[in-house]
Structure 1
Amino acid sequence: MNRWRFAFSRRWFGYLAVAIVFAIVCVLLSNWQLARRAEKTNEISLVTDNYDARPVQIGSLLPELDSFDPADEWRPVVLEGSYLEDEQVLVRNRPRGGQPGFDQLVPFLLTDGSVVIVDRGWLPTGNEQDLPDVVPAPPGGSVTVTVRLRPGEPTVAGRGAGAGQIATIHLPELAERVDGPLYTGAYGMLADENPAPSEQRPAAVQKPVADEGAHLSYALQWLIFGILGFVFLGYAVRQEYRALNADDPEERQRAEERERRRRAKRTDADIEDELLDASSVNR
């Protein structure tokens, strides 16, 4: 036991404290990755359960203008009324496939007088100006529209937009621009229009890919790192023990046995490398 007394010194207790703190940090990072994975899994479940569900009337999911249940994201709803084309806006900074662009938002006036923001899709930035080359008009007159519900977006500090544009789909801000009571709990991502528009509509939003990412593997890696911290500490203690007890007959015998086993495992290639190294030193 006296041979291991050095391991109970203040120095080694300090190393142990560092290993414990490192392990705690690794566990926290692992839990964070698991939480990220749970968020992704929930998003995938919403898309799987809701994206192709049967469309319902908007009032059954949004009983109040400012109500929205996150569990209803991507649920299809049917809107009947007409587009307010003169009050449409473009959302800036909407890249797609590495290309900059905009989303076209058009308020939709329902038959009961309330208004829903409809995102008709994506438009690429023009070749000669910071605007789409063409902003297609929505269908005129009475229209039946199917949309998928999405929650509004927060504002972004310091991000501005020009006339007829908006930085994010911040529904309270859009409510100040629209004449009429606006749904501020959610907006609609266009799925279908009847009758079809006379002009080609913007590029439709693609169904999200069911990919939870590498969060689980990252979580396991952080746990392994935390364990390796203690493994490395044990290795360092063992190495110092061998150095301090190099003259002890029992330890010297164990060292010779380890060297014998190491040499027994050498391959012909290892022996050739050692001979080449020795010859290069003697030159």
Structure 2
Amino acid sequence: MYKFLLSSRWLGWFALVCALAAVCAFLGTWQLDRRNAVREDIGWVETNYSADPVPFEEAAGYFEEFDPSAEWLPVQLTGTYDTANQRIVRNRPLNGRPGYEVLVPLKLQDGTAVVINRGWLAIGNNEAGWPDEVPAAPEGEVSVVARIKPAEPTLLRGAPEGQLASIDLATYQDQTGYPLEQAAYGLMSSEDPAPADRPEAAPKPALDEGPHLSYALQWYAFGLLFFVGFGYAARQEAWNIIEAGEEDADDFDDEDEVHSAAPAPRRTRPVRRRRGTTGEEEEDAILDAQGY
């Protein structure tokens, strides 16, 4: 009954179903991988964000070679801001508001320079492409608590003088003219002495996994439905073949009944011509034999 599945047409449909199901499985696995990455990031936030600050000497290696397990870890740094090389980073939205972030190199006592992200500024109204005012960093020696964040990649777009397209520390280093720690920067939590006015502090990252799990389950369900649809179509084809065979059998039985119900032709005995009879008498005799 299902021999038609071996036909080239049905084998082609089955190959297409397998290909579509494989794509769905790939997309579902991709969503699970994204969920796992988000869950890992959430784990580092839960572990590091509220931890006690560690001295820079203990965390210096993370600024030279970034370790994801150290992201959001608070670090205590002491040095002097290089306000002459302050930069603002473009296109940094916060809670749906367009704005900028302020970067300043912090020169430590041992000569190391670490980039500090001092916070967020709203887009200005006085001059297009600039905030209205950038709060000044404290002068002299300052103690900063900042959380470790990885450097960002280079973006293929420019920025006006005094601005950066991203927190690309290599590009920033080229502009300062002296070495900066390249693997990570510090997202400021506090500074002492505290200035009267400072950029808006970055909020704590959300601990939401997002819809990745539900998306993954949906993709897996779509892949399974392709096989269900193929099975349903094959079942319908089999029923059509069965019904077509029954109709042919019914038509054959009806023809047999018609032929069997038809009356058999009457066989007549030949009429012998008797001697001395005329032609009219013989004709009458034949008609009488046939029942007329």
Give, in angstroms, the shift of residue 219 of structure 1.
Answer: 1.1
Tell me if structure 2 keeps the 8 A contact 1:113–1:180: no
Tell me if structure 2 keeps the 8 A contact 1:90–1:165: yes
Tell me if structure 1 keeps the 8 A contact 2:17–2:227: yes
Give, in angstroms, the shift of residue 177 of structure 1.
Answer: 2.2
From 192, 199, 202, give the equivalent of 1:202.
199
Give, in angstroms, the shift of residue 63 of structure 1.
Answer: 3.2
Give, in angstroms, the shift of residue 233 of structure 1.
Answer: 0.6
Other-structure match for 1:253: none
Question: What is the alpha-carbon distance in structure 2 between the residues aligned to residue 7 and residue 37 of structure 1?
Answer: 39
Over 3 Å counting, the alpha-carbon distance change for 1:230 and 1:177 in structure 2 is: same
Q: What do the CA deviations read for 1:236-274 (whole angstroms, capped 9, x no partner)?
A: 111112222225559xxxxxxxxxxxxxxxxxxxxxxxx
Tell me if structure 2 keeps the 8 A contact 1:139–1:196: yes
Other-structure match for 2:91: 93
Other-structure match for 2:288: none
Give, in angstroms, the shift of residue 180 of structure 1.
Answer: 3.8
Greater shift, 172-181 or 6-15, is seen at: 172-181
Give, in angstroms, the shift of residue 59 of structure 1.
Answer: 2.3
Over the matched positions of the two proteins, sequence identity in percent amounts to 46
Other-structure match for 1:266: none
Give, in angstroms, the shift of residue 5 of structure 1.
Answer: 2.3
Q: What do the CA deviations read for 1:77-131 (whole angstroms, capped 9, x no partner)?
A: 0111111111100101111222221100011111111111100000011113221
The correspondence of residues 78-227 of structure 1 with structure 2, limited to 5 A, is 78-129=76-127, 130-157=129-156, 159-198=157-196, 200-227=197-224
TM-score, L = length of structure 1: 0.83
Question: What is the alpha-carbon distance in structure 1 between the residues aligned to residue 27 and residue 73 of structure 2?
Answer: 34
Question: What is the alpha-carbon distance in structure 1 between the residues aligned to residue 63 and residue 224 of structure 2?
Answer: 52
Question: What is the alpha-carbon distance in structure 2 between the residues aligned to residue 238 and residue 167 of structure 1?
Answer: 59
Structure with higher Rg: it is: 2
Other-structure match for 1:33: 31
Give, in angstroms, the shift of residue 48 of structure 1.
Answer: 0.7
Question: What is the alpha-carbon distance in structure 2 between the residues aligned to residue 121 and residue 6 of structure 1?
Answer: 69
Other-structure match for 2:46: 48
Counterpart residue type for residue 5 of structure 1: K
Other-structure match for 1:273: none
User: In structure 1, the residue corresponding to 2:61 is in which secondary structure?
Assistant: coil
Counting matched residue pairs gives 246
Other-structure match for 2:59: 61
Counterpart residue type for residue 125 of structure 1: I
Tell me if structure 2 keeps the 8 A contact 1:33–1:215: yes
Over 3 Å counting, the alpha-carbon distance change for 1:64 and 1:26 in structure 2 is: closer
Tell me if structure 2 keeps the 8 A contact 1:61–1:68: no
Question: What is the alpha-carbon distance in structure 1 between the residues aligned to residue 234 and residue 10 of structure 2?
Answer: 8
Question: What is the alpha-carbon distance in structure 2 between the residues aligned to residue 5 and residue 39 of structure 1?
Answer: 47
Flag structure 2 segments of 5+ consecutive residues without an equivalent.
248-292
Tell me if structure 1 keeps the 8 A contact 2:63–2:185: no
User: In structure 1, the residue corresponding to 2:243 is in which secondary structure?
Assistant: coil
Question: What is the alpha-carbon distance in structure 2 between the residues aligned to residue 46 and residue 170 of structure 1?
Answer: 23
Question: What is the alpha-carbon distance in structure 2 between the residues aligned to residue 211 and residue 246 of structure 1?
Answer: 56
Give, in angstroms, the shift of residue 181 of structure 1.
Answer: 3.1
Give, in angstroms, the shift of residue 223 of structure 1.
Answer: 1.2
Flag structure 1 segments of 5+ consecutive residues without an equivalent.
251-283
Give, in angstroms, the shift of residue 179 of structure 1.
Answer: 4.7
Tell me if structure 1 keeps the 8 A contact 2:86–2:105: yes
Other-structure match for 2:254: none
Q: What do the CA deviations read for 1:175-209 (whole angstroms, capped 9, x no partner)?
A: 122254321111000000111113x1111100100
Give, in angstroms, the shift of residue 64 of structure 1.
Answer: 7.7
Please give the root-mean-square deviation of Cα atoms over the aligned residues, in Å: 1.6
Question: What is the alpha-carbon distance in structure 1 between the residues aligned to residue 36 and residue 96 of structure 2?
Answer: 28
Give, in angstroms, the shift of residue 227 of structure 1.
Answer: 1.1
